[in-house]
Chain A
Amino acid sequence: MTKAKRKRLIYNLVTYALVIAAYIILQNMIGAKTISRSLKGLLVPICAWIIMAVSLNLVIGFSGELSLGHAGFMSIGAYTGAIISGWLLAAFDMQDPTLRLVLAIAGGGIVAGIFGVLIGIPVLRLRGDYLAIVTLAFGEIIRNLVNVLYVGTADGQLHFAFLNKKLPADVTMLVDGAKGAVKIKPISTFTVGFVLVMITLIVVLNLVNSRAGRAIQATRDNRIAAESMGVSVTKYKMMAFVTAAVLAGMAGALYGLNSSTVVPTQFTFNQSINVLVFVVLGGLGNVLGSVISATFLTVLPEVLREFADYRMLVYAVVLILVMIFTNNPLIRSVFGRAVAPVKGLFRGKKNSVSGGEA
C-alpha cells in the first residue's frame, strides 16, 4: 500500500466514521428525548444541504468548473419528489411512507439527471466564466418554468398544464404555479437522510479515487495536457456534472418532502450561492470539509437566534471571520500540530497492519 493510498484511505474512513458517529449520537438523543425541537427539526435539512455541498464540490472542486445553477437541480428534485409522492398516494393508495420516500428520491434523482445531461451537452463545451453564467441562467430558467407549471392528479392519472391552469375540474392539485408544490405529506426522515448522505459520500469518494476520477481531476489541472494524453475532456466533465445533478435531485426530493409546501422562490440564485459558500468554506476538493461546513452554516443562524435583530449581521461577521481564519497559514499550522498526535496514532496502527500483510 503506497503512502498516498493509505492517506486517502484514512481520510475516507474518518469521513464515514464521523458521519456514522454523528448519526448514532443523534439517534440516541432522539431515543432518550434529550434533543431540542430546534435541532431535531434541522436534521433533515442538514442532510439535504450536506448532499448539495458534496455534490457541488464534485463539480467545482474536482472537475474545476464553476456551476452556479445547483439550486435548479435541487428544485427539479423537490418538485419531482412531491409529484411522485402525491401521485403514488392518490392513484395507488400507497400508504407506506418510507417506500414512497425512496421512490420519490429515486425519481427526483433520475429527472434531475436527465436535465443534467440536457444542460451538460451544450454547457460543458464552454469554459470558466461562460460556464458559470450559463449555469446561472439555467437555474433561473428552471425557476421560472416551475412558476407556471400546474400538475394535478385525477383517476390515477397525472395532468400537466403550462402557463394557465387548464386542468380537469376534479383534479387534486399537486403543483399549483406560483403557489408551488402544495399539500405535501411530509415523509422525510432523518434515517433516510443519513442513508442518502452515506450513499453520496460513497459515490463521490469512490468516483474521485477511481480511474475516471483521476481523469476528471486531470481535466481540471490542465485541460490541454489531459486532452493530449487521450482523456476525453467533455466525457469526464459530463460524468462529474451529471453525477452531481443526480445527487442534487435526490437531495431536493428529501428536502421537499420534509415540508408541507415547496415554492419556486426557495431555489433562487441566492440558494446556489449559499451552497457555493458551503463548498468554498469547506475547501475545494475537500469532501469532509463540505460535510462539516454545510452542517455548521445550517446550524449557525439558528444558534444565533438569541441575537434577535442582529442575527443576520452576526452571521455575516462570523462567516467572514471563519473564512479568514481557515485561510490563515499560522492558524492552520497550529491546528495541524494539534491534530498531529491523532494522525500519528492512526499511522502507527496502519503501519503495523500493513507490516503484518507483508
Chain B
Amino acid sequence: MKKLIALLLALALTLTVCAALAEEPVVLKIAHIGPTTGAAALYGLATQHGAEIAVDEINAAGGKYQIELITEDDEHNVEKVINAYNAALDAGAQMILGSTTSKPCEAAGAQGYVDRVFFLTPSASSTAVIEDKDNVFQVCFTDPNQGSASAQYIAEHKLGTKIAVIYNNADVYSTGIRDTFVEKAAEMGLEIVSEETFTDETTDFTVQVGKAQEAGAEIVFLPMYYTPASLILKTASDKNYKPIFFGVDGMDGILSVEGFDTSLAEGVMLLTPFVATSEDERVKSFVAKYQEKFNETPIQFAADAYDGIYILLAAAEKAGITAEMAPEEACDLLIAAMKEIQVDGLTGSMTWDESGAVTKTPMAATIVNGVYVFED
C-alpha cells in the first residue's frame, strides 16, 4: 500500500513538473492593503516593500506561479480601508495580503467575510482581527499571545519577579497585550508591583517611571510602540533607574528614532520574531535585497509580509488556485489549504488552525552594542 502511494505521488509529481514546463505560468493577483500614507505609513510601507521583495523573487524564479501585486492605501482608517478593499477587488485581486494595522484589518476582514474574500494579514495582531471570521489568517502573533508569551519568557528565564507595567490605555494594541500579560504573570507567580497608564498625547513620563522605581521593580514591561518607549528610556536614565526593560514587537524600530541616544536602549529586551542582523542565510539575503532596493534596513513588519507572500503562494498551490478564479471561489479553497500547510519563513516555522491564529515559537532579542541579538 505504502509503495503504491509513493508511486502515485511520484507520478503526480512528474505530471505536475511536466505540466509546469508545458503550461503558461498561472498569474495570481494579490492585493496588499496597508497605510502607505498618514501616521502609520512606516508600517504600511514596510509590509508593502517586504511583499515586493518576495514577489520579485517568485517572479524571477519563474515557477508555476507568477504574482501580480496590487497595492492600495488604507491611511490606517477604518472608513478608507473599505474603499481600498473595494478598489483592490475592482482591480481584479483574488486574495488580500493585509491590512497591516489592526482596526482597519478588522473592518475589511468583516467585509471580506460577508463577500467571501480571503485575507492573510502580516501584522494586524488584535484578536478581533480573526474573531468570528473564518476568512482571516495571521502571520504574526495575536496581542494576547504576545502578552502571555512575554510573561512566560520572563518567568522561564528567571529575569526577575517584581514587575512594573506601563501601558497606553487609549490604544488597543497596548491594552490587549497588557491584559494577557497581567493574567499570565499571576499564573506564573510573577508579582506586578506597579501599573501606570498614559495616552497618545503623553510626552512626560516622570510620574510613571517614578512609580515603578519607588515600587522597586526589577523589570519594566513596555507593551507599546517605540516612540513612547524611547521617552521612557530617557526618563529612566535621567533618574538613574536601571531595571530590565522588556518590550514587544512594537518596540522594533526604537534604534532608528531620530535624535534618540541608542546607548539608552542597551540591554532592552523585546519579543520579536525577526532580527535583521541574524546570521541566518535567508534573513541575510532578504536584508541585502531590501537594502539594495529601498535603501533601509527592514523591520519585522517587512519580514512578516515577505513571509505572507510565500504563505499565500503555498496555500494557492495547495488549493490549486487558477488565474481565472474569482475571489469568492478561491476563498474557501484557500481556507481549507491554510490548515494543511506548514511554511518555514523568516519569522519561524508556521502552522495555522481554524481560528486563523498562527503557531510558532516566541523569540526574544536583546539590544547589545546597538544591534538586536537573539537570546539562547
Contact = CB atoms under 8 A, between A and B. Distances in A.
Given A179-B128, A263-B103, A305 B170 contact: no
Given A41-B83, A305-B87, A262 B172 contact: no
A343 to B, nearest CB: 36
B107 A259 contact: yes
Nearest to A185: B110
Contacts of A305: 72-73, 87
Interface string A16-32: 00000000000000000
B78 A41 contact: no
Contact of A261 (B73, B78, B80): B78
Given A179-B172, A266-B78, A311 B110 contact: no
Contact of A266 (B79, B106, B172): B79
Of the four ranges (under 10, 10 to 19, 20 to 34, 35 or more), the interface on chain B belongs to: 20 to 34
B329 interface: no
B110 A261 contact: yes
B183 interface: no
Nearest to A164: B169
B172 A178 contact: yes
B36 A309 contact: yes
B217 to A, nearest CB: 22
Contacts, number: 80
Chain B CB within 10 A, most for which of A45, A144, A261: A261
A235 interface: no
Contact of A259 (B78, B86, B172): B78
Given A259-B79, A261-B107, A178 B90 contact: no
B37 A262 contact: no
B21 to A, nearest CB: 36
A38 interface: yes
Given A41-B83, A261-B107, A311-B73, A179 B78 contact: no
Contacts of A45: 79
B209 to A, nearest CB: 22
A308 B71 contact: yes
A262 B89 contact: no
Contact of B83 (A180, A263, A302): A302
A260 interface: yes
A312 interface: yes
A40 B175 contact: no
Interface in B199-228: 199
A264 B172 CA distance: 11
B317 interface: no
Contacts of B126: 179
A147 interface: yes
Interface string B102-136: 01001100110010000000000010100010000
A345 B126 CA distance: 60
B161 interface: no
Contacts of B152: none
Contacts of B111: 186, 260
A259 B105 CA distance: 12
Contacts of A265: 103
Interface string B84-107: 011101100000000000010011
A147 B170 contact: yes
A77 interface: no
A41 B82 contact: yes
Interface string B62-84: 00000000011100011110110
A177 B175 contact: yes
A317 interface: no
A262 B78 contact: yes
Given A148-B169, A309-B36, A259 B90 contact: no
A264 B200 CA distance: 12
A37 B89 contact: yes
Interface of B: 36-38, 71-73, 77-80, 82-83, 85-87, 89-90, 103, 106-107, 110-111, 114, 126, 128, 132, 169-172, 175, 199
Given A37-B89, A186-B110, A305-B73, 18 more contacts: A36-B86, A37-B86, A40-B86, A42-B83, A147-B170, A148-B169, A178-B170, A178-B175, A179-B103, A179-B128, A179-B175, A259-B78, A260-B110, A261-B78, A261-B103, A266-B78, A302-B83, A311-B37
Which 4 pairs between the two chains have the least Cβ-Cβ distance?
A: A260-B110, A37-B86, A41-B86, A38-B86
7 contacts: A37-B87, A178-B169, A178-B170, A186-B110, A261-B128, A262-B78, A265-B103
